[in-house]
Amino acid sequence: MKYNNDFKYDLEVGQVGEKYLGNILQSKKIEVKTDLQAHKTGNIFIEYYSRGKPSGISKSEADFYAFILSNEKIVIVKTTELKTICRRYINTKRDINGGDSNTSKGILLPIKELLF
């Protein structure tokens, strides 16, 4: 995006963003996950299978996932996009056992994959 030194233009762009985020928060289903260790590990665990059946993102009806990574950092991503990103890691070293007693399967996803 080109730099623009016009407050009125910047205000309009900001208001479009506010409306978009407001729509997500008010009228969409959001799956919220909290991982306060992610800033140390650089990864989040995205469960897709547990105790012999699909679970987590495989069964989610959410439109978006929100990851709370600290008191100051929240990442929101469309569920369809998150699924696309995770599929790249199926059957790789990032497709691991985890969760309670390692009874789940999931993708150990680098946080940076969610940023762009």
Concatenating the DSSP letter of every residue in 68-87 gives: E-SSS-EEEEEHHHHHHHHH
Mean residue pLDDT across the chain: 89
Check: CB of residue 63 under 8 Å from CB of residue 79. Answer: yes
Helix, strand or coil, per DSSP, at residue 31: strand
Q: Give the contacts of 98 (CB within 8 A, at least 6 positions apart).
A: 45, 47, 104, 105, 106, 108
Q: 2 falls in which pLDDT band (50, 70, 90)? A: low
Pairwise CA distance, residues 85 & 40, whole Å: 21
Check: CB of residue 76 under 8 Å from CB of residue 66. Answer: yes
Give the model confidence (pLDDT) of 72-82 as tens digits. 889 999 999 99
